[in-house]
Structure 1
Amino acid sequence: MNLLKQPVTALAGIGHQTAQRFEKLDIHFVQDLIFHLPLRYEDRTRIYPIGSLKPGMTVLICGTVEYTDTLPRGRKSLISRISDATGFITLKFFYFTAHQHNLLKPGAIVSCFGEVRVGYAGLEMVHPDYKILADGEQAATESRLTPVYPLTEGLSQSTMRKAVKQALSLCRSDNGVLTDWIPAEILQRYHYPSLAEAISTLHAPEESMPIEALQNGSAPALKRLAFEELLAHYLSLRQAKTRGENRHAPVFDGDRIAIDAFLRSLPFALTGAQQRVMTEIAQDCRRSRPMMRLIQGDVGSGKTVVAAYAALLALSAGYQTAIMAPTELLAEQHYRNFNTWLEGFDVRVVLLTGQSKGQQRKKLLQDLADGSAHLVIGTHALFQEDVEFHRLGLCIIDEQHRFGVHQRLALREKGADTGLRPHQLVMTATPIPRTLAMLQYSDLDVSIIDELPPGRKPVVTSVIPAERRDEVIARIRGWIEKTRQAYWVCTLIEESEALQCEAAEKTAERLSESLPGIRIGLVHGRMKAADKEAVMTAFKHREIDLLVATTVIEVGVDVPNAGLMIIENPERLGLSQLHQLRGRVGRGEGDSYCLLMYQSPLSDTARQRLGILRDSNDGFVIAEKDLELRGPGEVMGTRQTGAMHFKIADLARDKELLDQVQSIGDRLFTESPAAVQPLCDRWLGTAIAYAEV
């Protein structure tokens, strides 16, 4: 049996209860312990003279106790002053016993490890690790840096260190157990150590290794493991793409007459970028393997009409299309647009959301199952078990990063009964930084709509403090007097939708008092679909001047006459979400403005973020900056199921590795196929099942 595949209970001192605690850290097997790297390191390799200490240092010292006392004032504490030939320092304990007081008696020799701070009486250590030394005993130093591991409740550093030490000695006892799947010449070219050497270095670095290099990711051992982990993710997606290419999909030759009539009927001219992407989709759909295409396009670039073209390819070939949107508001808007664009094409468009209930829902499901409903637009309600299709040929997923992997997989599986896999088109207006797209979407072909419709002007963005609220309200009045409309967006840091809606309601009341005679509407996530629809329709028809809303309007709302947006507390949102919201204005031909009204004081990062948004309208530039500032999890909305999670790699820190990852991954795929699966198993384990989405 492979030693690394043994459960952690095979190690001495790890019983059932400890194993359960390890499971909370996703540690099940000996191999998992080996790849559970330290968070940071402590330097206990030498003793520092007390006189050389500076605040912020975390060090090992040794000294003689001068006195120990209990301070009753304020928070009761035990203080002990120790000194060596170079100086003195105070040890402070807020939790202590009488026994401790007796141990730290004057004249006792003590070794301590802790962080040096500035206290009332000079430098101090609060709750250091300490040991009273016997007569003639020397303070013990370590030969290597001491690792500090991520833990969970009930697990101590000593338990973790002992377990890792045993796992490493098992590896050393069997040289073949930790196979290096990366070819030696690649390791040499990039000056990477072997896998065994990298792992040993990271769990027990030599004292000469600079701690900074280990913390900031520049140590070759850490770079090598980050590289291998990124490579495994890339290879898993390449495998998924290959598997997808071996499946069969329906062929859409399409009704050329109907498609030409559709293009001629549009009330606007298509951009060159839209036409290019439509050609790419048509080529994909003429093949018998499933299309897996991602369309990226900045807010307002016209992705929805491209989706309508793709839907018509499927419909005119006799297949159904399912379009999944993240919110009911967006699903309802798509429903209206598609009905308008496909009028006269003998296509029945239906809407299926959480609001579809009882007999109405039953009838909808029947129509989808017997094929009398051709195009369905909906929310997550689409992938529920009782939704069946007659001949599903195309799935379109809008704002795909809002959905978890399981949801997208479930929708695609709806077409599997026919033996054919539906084509899949994935759209996002959140531009994905190139570094992320290369890894997160290497199983998809990517199309970019990099052109805005003619006549669109960039939105002018200003950053202003909330103290100038009265000026902003005066500006709204002047704007509406010019027969233009405006948005006021309320954001709240709490996840609670109820609190967000309450804040929006109060804001609408206050604005009604400040702006008498101006028609104010309100829309938020807890309103009934029919009520939201009524408010949005009234806003579109210019029956409402100012729309107060939560971030529910982030995607899909299109009112060309609304050219002014005020975003309250923008510092609480990420750059990409702010850019999405700002994309609701600038959709007509007039000038458009976005005011970011922040609460003082701003942190340096928030000031930087708002400055980036003020200075750029380019979604891709904004997404790259967002990645640098917040990291990949926030940018992609990856708190969802199935998003990429890394044990060691950090996409913001390690992005320069991605070019290597792509070229070497492609090479391994063709030249060393036997290495692909073991690398994926080592780093992804069970996660591979979902990579196909």
Structure 2
Amino acid sequence: MLDQMHVTGLKGVGDKQAEKLAKLGLHVVQDLLFHLPHRYQDKTKITPLDQAIIGQEVLIEAQIKNQRLTQGRRPTLLVELEDSTGQSLALRFFHFQPTQVRKFKRGDSVRAFGELRTGLNGLEIVHPHYSVFSFDPPPLDNTLTPVYPTTEGLGQASLVKLIKQAIALLKQYPLAEGLNQAWLQNWQLPPINQALITLHQPQPSDDLGQIQRFEHPAQARLIVEELITQQLALQLMRQQQVQRLAPALAISRTAKTLLASLPFSLTSAQQRVWQEIVNDLKQTQPMQRLVQGDVGSGKTIIAALAALQAADMDYQVAIMAPTEILAEQHRNHFAEWLAPLNIEMAWLNGRLKAAEKREMLAKIASGEAKIAVGTHALFQDSVEFNRLGLVIIDEQHRFGVHQRLTLNQKAQSDQIKNFAPHQLTMTATPIPRTLAMTAYGDLDISVIDELPPGRLPVDTAVLGNQKRQEVMAHLYHACKEGVQAYWVCPLIDESELLDAQAAQTTFDEFNQLWPDMRVGLVHGRLKAAEKELIMQQFKAHQIDLLVATTVIEVGVNVPNASLMIIENAERLGLSQLHQLRGRVGRGAKKSHCVLLYQAPLSATAKARLQIMRQTNDGFVIAEEDLRIRGPGEVLGTRQTGGISLRIADIQRDEAWIEPAQQAAAQMLNQAKLPSKGTTGLVALLQQRWIGEKVEYKHA
């Protein structure tokens, strides 16, 4: 019932309020029940000021000694207090009414709650929740106060009232239990209704410390159910994929010809992954494989071999990359390898002239172009494939599920019902096992865990920005001796808001200091032809130093470049730093990376730079990146349109992931799955946790 009752059925909710609730994903009463507090305030006890910790929220009780208005750019109300320990505290109000000033009478007492800070004149709380009393103090709360995520125009008080209504309805109309009773007993977890009431209205008998640390069984109960639902969705995606038809692609003679012509041999890891792909492509169900390999491990040649296997069977291949530079690199590599084999290619990006675009679209629609390489332009409605049999997506975590779905739909065949192309996705960002199990559980995963022979590790130094001029001079002399280098800046132009050197400024500095130095500049605002020309000049060693923004993060391959300077490195994440460093160390020369930082450093930035100095291992770096940044940022936009976890946290709740995976498999084995959907508990959990977000299941 509560999963059908719209929020407008609650007291005080009209159409405008419903619109605000919808911004939080709250459409029906059940949604309010699963909109859990993101933290709790403890107003159950008074903290003496001599025991209070700066930076923490505290409830204090003290006597008013004085109140005054301070004059500045705007008046400020200061209420000076002293508690029973003799310690002083000021309550500071920047926004107040004249009547409020008169409330604070000398000799009365105040009970105030807020974050304790250090002000100009000692301890203070800014804009506290407070009550003033003369004799009898108000009663203390006997439980924690929930604090909910809100949105603009929807205050905390309004949300609390609505959730109280939802809890009252829950007691009348309990939710159906979504998990097996035996599992709940084995895991020592409460039923769903009890868990929800506990978390919205914790009682004095509950372990309040456990709740604040997110270790309470009621929280675990919801975490497990959400993780099981996510695993169900991933496993259902796999089942649906297995039921679809894809072209069986036999091993390609042309692929063997390309292998024989290469000036290098595949590593054993590349050979293993290639064999896994060959076996997948032979099947009449679509391949869903993710190939992960560290920077420079050789994923692109594997993609080319797979593309040839499709092209030889007269199917088309779509190769998609998130940036123009990376897409251009793929086009150049594929052209170099495939042109001698007479394989026709098409190239699509957002900057093609109208005539060029028409020509490319015609080649793709007619089937003349067997390989289509491009950026997001491949998603456009005007792109029609003749016989799409394989989709290759690079750095796929940067694309949303809707975009994957769009490419799949372009392969729909009138001749074959339920047709789907094979899909090969690649990433140079190694994925920690925990993240792979939750975010990529619908994919088979291959790992190229070996670098080509002769690759030397890159030495990394971390230097403060005061050494910048020294580094510039050292780089100039190195370039005069034949070294090629990158200098990466986070911004294109100067910004008053960010203390970061801009690429344009650095480019100008080098030209002014050393006019004889050959310096190039690449950034995202350049036209594609300009970028390509500069990259070709750099590759041909007609440029010594390439000053660039982070557009060169992935895909750029210039073996002679052996020096990388990353400015304002403290502003970049671990994964991005690792990708940038991976642009060097690709040739026979010993390579070096210098990370320049602007002091002072935050604890997080210090940790990141220390890790970069200590290791070149992408998997170690990926684990640390997950630990520091969390799964949301590491995943990027991959889960747009899919499941984004509401309560569970991949790192914090890692211990529950494997049990959830096993439980989901057991549920699906027991459930009867009609062709148009699932029934029973599986459907109940999907409706409860995913709701309308089911389109992703076809991606």
Q: TM-score normalised to the size of structure 2?
A: 0.92
Task: Name the structure 1 match of 2:372.
Answer: 376
Q: Structure 2 CA distance, aligned partners of 1:475 and 1:52?
A: 54
Q: Could you tell me which residue of structure 1 aligns to residue 349 of structure 2? A: 353
Contact 1:314 1:394 in 2 (8 A): yes
Answer whether contact 1:389 1:414 (CA < 8 A) is retained. yes
Paired with 1:549 and 1:53, the residues of 2 have a C-alpha distance of: 49
Counterpart of 1:96 in 2: which secondary structure?
coil
Corresponding residue for residue 661 of structure 2? 662
Matches within 5 A, 1:133-282: 133=133, 139-175=138-174, 178-209=175-206, 211-255=208-252, 257-282=253-278
Structure 1 segment 176-575 matched on structure 2, within 5 A: 178-209=175-206, 211-255=208-252, 257-418=253-414, 419=416, 420-492=419-491, 503-575=502-574
State the partner residue of 2:11: 12
Please state how far the C-alpha of 1:351 moved relative to its aligned partner.
1.2
SS across alignment from 1:342: helix
Letter in 2 for 1:183: N
Deviation of 1:49 (Å): 6.3
User: Quick one: distance in 1 between partners of 2:105 and 2:503?
Assistant: 63
Equivalent residue letter for 1:283: N
Tell me the distance in 1 between the aligned counterparts of 2:392 and 2:176.
42
CA contact (8 A) 1:484 1:545 kept: yes
In structure 2, what is the Cα distance between the partners aligned to 1:127 and 1:346? Answer: 73
**Between 94-103 and 506-515, the greater mean CA deviation after superposition:** 94-103
Structure 2: distance between partners of 1:480 and 1:588 = 16
Q: Distance in 2 between matches of 1:328 and 1:397?
A: 14
Gaps in structure 1 of 5+ consecutive residues:
none
The 1:493–1:95 alpha-carbon spacing in structure 2 relative to 1, beyond 3 Å, is farther
Partner amino acid, structure 2, of 1:568 = E
Name the aligned partner's letter for residue 250 of structure 2. Answer: D
The equivalent residue for 1:614 is 613
Give the paired residue count: 687
**What per-residue deviation string (whole Å, max 9, x for no partner) do you get for residues 127-177 of structure 1?**
333334587x551333321111122222232221111111111111123xx
What residue is the counterpart of 2:20 in the other structure? Answer: 21
**Structure 1 residue 690 and structure 2 residue 689: aligned?**
no
Query: Which shifted more, 39-48 or 432-441?
Result: 39-48
Residue deviations 1:331-384, cap 9 Å, x none?
222122112212332311121112222222112211211111111111111111
Task: Indicate the residue corresponding to 2:677 in structure 1.
Answer: none
> 1:413 is matched by which residue type in structure 2?
Q
Instruction: Give the AA of the match of 1:633.
Output: G
Contact 1:500 1:550 in 2 (8 A): no
* Gaps in structure 2 of 5+ consecutive residues: 673-679
Q: Aligned with 1:165: secondary structure?
A: helix
Q: Deviations over 1:483-510 (max 9, x none)?
A: 22111111139999xx999922221111
Counterpart Cα distance in 2 of 1:627 and 1:416: 37
* One-letter amino acid of the structure 1 residue matched with residue 202 of structure 2: P
Counterparts of 2:447 and 2:191 in 1: how far apart (Å)? 40
Measure the CA separation in 1 of the matches of 2:143 and 2:131.
19
- Percent identical residues: 49
Give distance in 2, aligned partners of 1:212 and 1:515.
Answer: 63
Deviation at 1:23, TM superposition (A): 1.6
CA apart distance, 1:78: 3.6
Distance 1:320 1:501, change over 3 A: farther
Letter in 2 for 1:401: H
- How far did residue 92 of structure 1 move? 4.0
- Structure 2 Cα separation of the partners of residues 121 and 535 of structure 1: 58
Displacement, 1:79? 4.2
SS at match of 2:26: coil
**What residue is the counterpart of 1:100 in the other structure?**
100
Secondary structure, counterpart of 1:610 in structure 2: helix
Hey, what's the Cα distance between the residues in 2 that align with 1:23 and 1:590?
A: 57
Equivalent residues of 1:633, 1:639 under 8 A apart: no
Deviation of the 1:74 alpha carbon? 8.1
Whole-angstrom CA distance in 2 between matches of 1:272 and 1:50:
65
Cα contact 1:473–1:514 (8 A) shared by 2: no
Compared CA separation, residues 344 and 166, structure 1 to 2 (3 A): same
Secondary structure at 2:565 match in 1: strand
Shift of 1:538: 1.2
Shift of residue 692, structure 1, vs aligned partner? 3.1
Q: CA deviation at 1:297?
A: 0.7
**What's the C-alpha RMSD, in Å, of the aligned pairs?**
2.7
Distance 1:54 1:602 in 2: 24
SS in 1 for 2:408: helix
Could you give the per-residue CA deviations for residues 520-569 of structure 1, whole angstroms, max 9, x where no partner exists? 11211111211111111111111111111111111111111111111111
Output the amino acid matched with 2:305. Y
